[in-house]
Structure 1
Amino acid sequence: MYISISDRKGGQRDQAAAGPATVHPAFRLSPVIIWLGVVSMMTDISSESVAAILPLYVTGYLGLSTIAFGVIDGINQGASAIVRIGAGWVSDRTGHPKYVAVAGYGLSMLARVGFVVAGGFWAIAAIVAGDRIGKGIRTAPRDAMISAEAQPEYLARSFGVHRMLDNIGAAAGPLIAFLILMLIPNGFSTVFGVSLAFAVIGVAVLLLVVPDRLRLMRQDRDRSRPAARWAQLRWSRLREPGLARLMVAAGLLGVLTIGDGFIYLLLQHRESFAIQWFPLLFVGTNAAFLLFAVPIGTIADRWGKVPVFLAGHGALLACYLLAGLPAAGIAATIGCLLLLGLFYAATDGVLAALVSQLATPDKLGTALGTAQTVVALSRMAAASGFGVLWYTAGPGTAIAIVAVLLAAALASAVLLFRGSTPKVQAP
């Protein structure tokens, strides 16, 4: 059986290779995916409550420049890159992705303690780096567990359900931060304390409820194959048809994906609303992501994941254009939040589903980690570069330059996929 990453057949099975059309089974969601979604929900309440106040905390409360925030946001985007591939590889080699994920979630939990007691640029940068390294450790093994539990015909929808639960937390976290700042002006330390409590809950659920059964599933499926051995990590293990092309496209587009914090600072700079309302911008984006995640995943499974992935970056381009308008009012602000939510819904889980289709089961964690590393490094470069561009050229000019470059990169990505239908054997 073969799967195409092209949309020419709508992402459906290649009829010449698979034979007569078959009826897909009804969609059923594994409880493991639900529990992983709950873990992500608790963790995102923790992380996003901090992320929602970090731009103001750094530039307002600590009085640092946008260059300093760009460096911190770049660390936020890219520090996880140093461990993602290794974490995915360890997950593949051991067959125990749960415990690799526990290590990542646990490190992020410990970083929350640092936020409670530390201040200043270097301390915040180090704490953010520790938190993001934890994210880098946990993401690939968690997505490998989701892929193993999902029905192959409904990969994008299963990832969409997980991302929906994840973004309930991502929307709740900034809302909690908003309520705290409304009740306690400059109550940043209280936000950090609440963030730590939710991180502890997430780790507890993962340890106590989520099973570690991926090794048993693989043994049942690959009973005739020799046992997996520890082997040197080689890039040649990832030479699957279409995977390199996908990595290039993801990196090209990622290097022009500036952090959400910069977009929100741009909106706040334009509209001059009170700082207490700032966390609600994060709530709006994550609520939109929550709204779009499952429908977009369903569309990607039915009509093709590549066009949905590219269309998501088209939504990001439209967001840049709206954010760059000199005077647009509340309607444009709401439009930016909806477009950002649509962008994440069309790219985050969809990219993971694409990699899951293209990689063989024994290389899945490594492939997912590699894709996430490409995205993290490219977005790290985008955030750091945009901070300098904002400082030197001003916010309006900076966002206009990035919008033009993203349009060119999106056209290049379309050409990169055009005329090619790489296929890989389905797990």
Structure 2
Amino acid sequence: MTGPTQPERGLRAIPPGIWALGFVSLLMDVSSEMIHALLPVYLVTAMGASATVVGAIEGIAEATAAITKVFSGAVSDWLGRRKALAVIGYGLAALTKPVFPLASTIGWVVAARFVDRIGKGIRGAPRDALVADIAPPHLRGASFGLRQTLDTVGAFLGPGLAVVLMWVLADDFRAVFWVAVIPAALCVVVLVLGVHEPERPAGLRKVKAPLSFAEMARLGQAYWWITAAATVFTLARFSEAFLLLKAQAEGLAIALVPLVLVVMNVVYSLSAYPAGALSDRVNKVQVLAAGLALLIAADLVLAFVPTLAGVAIGVVLWGLHMGFTQGLLASLVAETSPPELRGTAFGVFNMLGGVALLVASLAAGLLWDTAGPGATFLAGAGVSLLALLLLAYLRRRLPELGAAGHGTSGGGGR
């Protein structure tokens, strides 16, 4: 007798809907990053804004996105449907893109940025829950890794395209902003036509009040432990803006500083899918621990190797740690949350991560100004070590968490 057939793996086994969602993310990131790579300079040089105004716009925008994610995820669980909210979120973002070239005042730019981030908040949790719903259980890590890879490709193609277009179009900001409208519109078309929401499983419990205490308790201890560990980890992963400041401090020409993010995102995109695929075959918590170790190594190099070569090594390690952690965290959220509460689970997870990132970046800036770059990166390494110890404790407390084949029916750890 022949043994049981092994499930198909690899890129070809990933459902078309996951590929479509990946290209949706890629197209929107190309559009958004083309604008965001130029927007601070445009606001200051063309519209007379101060650096404080630019900072306030970005802070309000990101806080809005983080808060909105909680409610959109909960609404998707209440409706029992994900795609409609994803379309609304991406559609809102696409509709804001023409406002940037048309804006005649800073107020219009603020309004467009605000609505754009509301769109991001609306789509984030339902989209991640939709990936979890479409992905076969044995390919969850690979599916989230692929979506993250394609998303990150957009993150470096966008700024690169903006640089080329600014050169070709003789620094015409508005013309570049108009070009950015095209991929945003294509993104919505791909989502509407290329993604088909799976039927709701028969007998799946109807959620009436996703954000109630009773429903939060149903998420289970494994979910809350993963969320706690991820929040501590995010406190260590402050904004990549500090990588740019470090490169500039070590003597990199200002015109070349954006290449830091390009390099980081290239490494991130190349490592996200392999790390996700690996996590489907071995314990996910172990792969996540490797990602934390990479962040510790990046911080130590950036703190103790004060050269451009040190910056380059640190940036590569930072990109690897992103590839080994971001898609994997999403996969663990999907694995540990009940299917009917995945939207809420992703919403709460993303909100806490957004708050932690804001706190981390504020603390990093304060350390940078008072004690220097070395202290900033050493503090990041210290908090990363704390997150690593928390993962080790979690591994002992819930040894089955993240194991290959564990939680494949959804809602593991309830």
| TM-score interval for Structure 1 and Structure 2 normalised by the shorter chain | 0.7 to 0.9
Deviation at 1:362, TM superposition (A): 0.8
TM-score (norm 1): 0.82
1:323 and 1:57 mapped to 2: Cα distance?
Answer: 30
TM-score (norm 2): 0.84
Please name the residue that 1:233 is paired with: 211
Deviation at 1:122, TM superposition (A): 7.1
Residues 50-80 of structure 1 deviation map (CA, whole Å, 9 limit, x = unaligned) = 3434566678886845x76665554455432
Q: Does residue 7 of structure 2 align to residue 25 of structure 1?
A: yes
1:367 and 1:210 mapped to 2: Cα distance?
Answer: 22
Deviation at 1:88, TM superposition (A): 1.2
1:26 counterpart letter in structure 2: E
Q: Does residue 275 of structure 2 align to residue 292 of structure 1?
A: no
Please name the residue that 1:306 is paired with: 285
Q: Secondary structure at the match of 1:40?
A: helix
Identity of aligned residues (%): 32
Deviation at 1:284, TM superposition (A): 1.5
1:119 and 1:333 mapped to 2: Cα distance?
Answer: 39
User: CA 1:360–1:173 in structure 2 vs 1: closer, same or farther (change >3 Å)?
Assistant: same
1:384 counterpart letter in structure 2: L
User: CA 1:59–1:342 in structure 2 vs 1: closer, same or farther (change >3 Å)?
Assistant: farther
Deviation at 1:350, TM superposition (A): 0.7
Asked if the contact 1:71–1:383 (Cα under 8 Å) also holds between the matched residues in 2, the reply is no
Deviation at 1:420, TM superposition (A): 2.7
Asked if the contact 1:53–1:278 (Cα under 8 Å) also holds between the matched residues in 2, the reply is no
1:392 and 1:60 mapped to 2: Cα distance?
Answer: 29
1:151 counterpart letter in structure 2: P
2:131 and 2:170 mapped to 1: Cα distance?
Answer: 40
Q: Does residue 187 of structure 2 align to residue 205 of structure 1?
A: no
Please name the residue that 2:227 is paired with: 247
Q: Secondary structure at the match of 1:343?
A: helix
Q: Does residue 81 of structure 2 align to residue 103 of structure 1?
A: no
Of stretches 114-123 and 85-94 in structure 1, the one that deviates more from structure 2 is 114-123
Q: Does residue 331 of structure 2 align to residue 346 of structure 1?
A: no
1:399 and 1:356 mapped to 2: Cα distance?
Answer: 31
Deviation at 1:251, TM superposition (A): 1.0
Gapped regions of structure 2 (runs ≥ 5): 402-406
Residues 271-315 of structure 1 deviation map (CA, whole Å, 9 limit, x = unaligned) = 23142x333322212211221112101111111111222322322
Deviation at 1:31, TM superposition (A): 0.9
Residues 257-282 of structure 1 deviation map (CA, whole Å, 9 limit, x = unaligned) = 2111221232123223142x333322
1:269 counterpart letter in structure 2: A
1:262 and 1:59 mapped to 2: Cα distance?
Answer: 20
User: CA 1:236–1:70 in structure 2 vs 1: closer, same or farther (change >3 Å)?
Assistant: farther
Asked if the contact 1:309–1:350 (Cα under 8 Å) also holds between the matched residues in 2, the reply is yes
1:68 and 1:385 mapped to 2: Cα distance?
Answer: 20
Deviation at 1:130, TM superposition (A): 3.1
Please name the residue that 2:248 is paired with: 268
User: CA 1:409–1:48 in structure 2 vs 1: closer, same or farther (change >3 Å)?
Assistant: same
Deviation at 1:347, TM superposition (A): 1.6
2:409 counterpart letter in structure 1: A
Please name the residue that 1:421 is paired with: 399
Please name the residue that 1:157 is paired with: 142
Please name the residue that 2:295 is paired with: 316
Residues 342-371 of structure 1 deviation map (CA, whole Å, 9 limit, x = unaligned) = 122112211111011111111111112111
Aligned partner of 1:328 among 287, 296, 307: 307
2:253 counterpart letter in structure 1: F
1:130 and 1:355 mapped to 2: Cα distance?
Answer: 27
Q: Does residue 242 of structure 2 align to residue 257 of structure 1?
A: no
User: CA 1:302–1:56 in structure 2 vs 1: closer, same or farther (change >3 Å)?
Assistant: farther
Asked if the contact 2:210–2:344 (Cα under 8 Å) also holds between the matched residues in 1, the reply is no
Please name the residue that 1:18 is paired with: none
Aligned partner of 1:387 among 334, 357, 365: 365
User: CA 1:338–1:119 in structure 2 vs 1: closer, same or farther (change >3 Å)?
Assistant: farther
Q: Does residue 152 of structure 2 align to residue 167 of structure 1?
A: yes
Of stretches 390-399 and 380-389 in structure 1, the one that deviates more from structure 2 is 390-399
Q: Does residue 40 of structure 2 align to residue 91 of structure 1?
A: no
Please name the residue that 2:404 is paired with: none
User: CA 1:401–1:152 in structure 2 vs 1: closer, same or farther (change >3 Å)?
Assistant: closer
Deviation at 1:112, TM superposition (A): 2.8
Deviation at 1:153, TM superposition (A): 1.0
1:29 and 1:416 mapped to 2: Cα distance?
Answer: 30
Residues 147-183 of structure 1 deviation map (CA, whole Å, 9 limit, x = unaligned) = 1211111110111122222222222112112213444
1:366 and 1:29 mapped to 2: Cα distance?
Answer: 25
Asked if the contact 1:75–1:380 (Cα under 8 Å) also holds between the matched residues in 2, the reply is no
Deviation at 1:255, TM superposition (A): 1.9
Residues 98-148 of structure 1 deviation map (CA, whole Å, 9 limit, x = unaligned) = 110011112222333343355898766654443233212111111222112
2:372 and 2:106 mapped to 1: Cα distance?
Answer: 23
Asked if the contact 2:237–2:360 (Cα under 8 Å) also holds between the matched residues in 1, the reply is yes
Q: Does residue 116 of structure 2 align to residue 134 of structure 1?
A: no
Q: Secondary structure at the match of 2:281?
A: helix
Root-mean-square deviation (CA), in Å? 3.0
1:333 and 1:199 mapped to 2: Cα distance?
Answer: 33
1:278 and 1:196 mapped to 2: Cα distance?
Answer: 26
2:228 counterpart letter in structure 1: V
Asked if the contact 2:74–2:210 (Cα under 8 Å) also holds between the matched residues in 1, the reply is no
User: CA 1:148–1:64 in structure 2 vs 1: closer, same or farther (change >3 Å)?
Assistant: same
User: CA 1:111–1:336 in structure 2 vs 1: closer, same or farther (change >3 Å)?
Assistant: farther
Gapped regions of structure 1 (runs ≥ 5): 1-20
Asked if the contact 1:73–1:383 (Cα under 8 Å) also holds between the matched residues in 2, the reply is no
- Between the two proteins, the alignment pairs up a number of residues equal to 397
